[in-house]
Amino acid sequence: VVETALIIPAAGSGTRLGADRPKAFVELAGRTLLAWSLRSGLRAGCGLTVIAAPADLLEEARAIADAECDSLNVSRSLVAVVEGGAERTDSVSAALARLETANPSFVLVHDAARALTPNEVFIRVIDALRAGERNVVPTLPVADTIRTVAGSTSSVEDLATSVDRSQLRRVQTPQGFRTEDLRAAHRHARQTGLSATDDAGLLEAIGIPARGVPGAEAAHKITYPEDLRTARARLQGE
């Protein structure tokens, strides 16, 4: 029996990164972002992983998975690859369908783009699930002052009041759930056409509030070219 499974949505195009290939397949110090993310999940003890990859990169995703399994000496059968969808939610849904038979107690959903997420973040999320939490989200405080935009008449914006940043959190992954809750949340999202930028938002919509555990700066989502440079520097600093 698998206690904790892992879903890695890796089917985004990643146009903001400006690379010539989908973001999860971009290299960082000799490993693709997908390989780094899979590696962290396997090391954290996730018993079964499903990767959602772009349709034309299924074989490449399979090869990446096999290489990481071999290097960590775990069975290749622990990792499955499915075709992702148009939106991140569709990709997670497709991966979730693949977990039907294994029926793990918990599922973590982790962005391929958060390639350098430390093991302790995975462990904190899993521990919270074991302790009975149902919608677990790693978060960090906000350092900048944040304002909302009131309007824009030219290239200069009108800025409304600033938001109390002590009340704000940046949300990361892996996010952790009970498998049946994540299934119910995705079913509800499909039926209502609801979309959210993460899975915690989908659970919230069915009445299961999100709960935060400490995230990590290293779990930053690689989105822009400078994020890749920061990640590279982080690895060299180790």
Task: Give kind and range of the element (H or E) at residue 201.
Answer: helix 199-205
Within 41-80, the residues that bind ligand C5P by CB under 6 A are 52
* CB nearer ligand C5P, residue 193 or residue 207: 193
Q: What kind and span of H or E run contains 53? A: strand 48-53
Q: How many helices (H) and strands (E) does the chain have?
A: 7, 12
Site size toward ligand C5P, by CB under 6 A: 18
| Nearest residue to 118 via CA among 198, 44, 8, 29 | 44
Closer by beta carbon to ligand C5P, 16 or else 43 = 16
Angle at which helices 88-98 and 179-192 pack, to 10 degrees? 130
Site for ligand C5P in 159-198 (CB under 6 A): none
Cβ at position 72, least distance to ligand C5P in Å: 21
For residue 137, state whether it binds ligand C5P (rule: CB under 6 A): no
Closer of 52 and 121 to ligand C5P (Cβ): 52
> Binding of ligand C5P at residue 10 (CB under 6 A)?
yes
Contact between 11 and ligand C5P per CB under 6 A = yes
CA distance 164 to 192: 32
Count of other CB atoms within 10 angstroms of residue 162: 11
For ligand C5P, the binding residues (CB under 6 A) are: 9-12, 23-24, 52, 84-88, 91, 111-113, 221, 223
